[in-house]
């Protein structure tokens, strides 16, 4: 995984802010299905 963004706002049923967004390495951004958001632990 490669982190390529910070402070991401995801809007589904409600707005949720995540610390990071990542994509598979080395492929990079393919589509939204292969994008992962998570918070610092």
The 3-class secondary structure across the chain, one letter per residue, is CEEEEEEEEEECCCEEEEEEEEECCCCCCCCHHHCEEECCC
The reported pTM is 0.76
pLDDT at 19: 95
Kindly give, in sequence order, each residue whose CB lies less than 8 Å from that of residue 21, ignoring residues fewer than 6 positions away: 3, 4, 5, 6, 8, 35, 36, 37
> Splitting the chain (41 residues) into consecutive groups of 10 residues, what average pLDDT does each group show?
92 90 93 91 77
Kindly give, in sequence order, each residue whose CB lies less than 8 Å from that of residue 17, ignoring residues fewer than 6 positions away: 7, 8, 9, 10
């Amino acid at each position: 995984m490669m982190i390529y963004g910070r402070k991401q706002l995801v809007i589904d049923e409600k707005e949720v802010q995540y610390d990071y967004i990542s994509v598979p390495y080395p492929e990079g951004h393919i589509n939204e299905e292969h994008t992962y958001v998570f918070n610092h632990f």
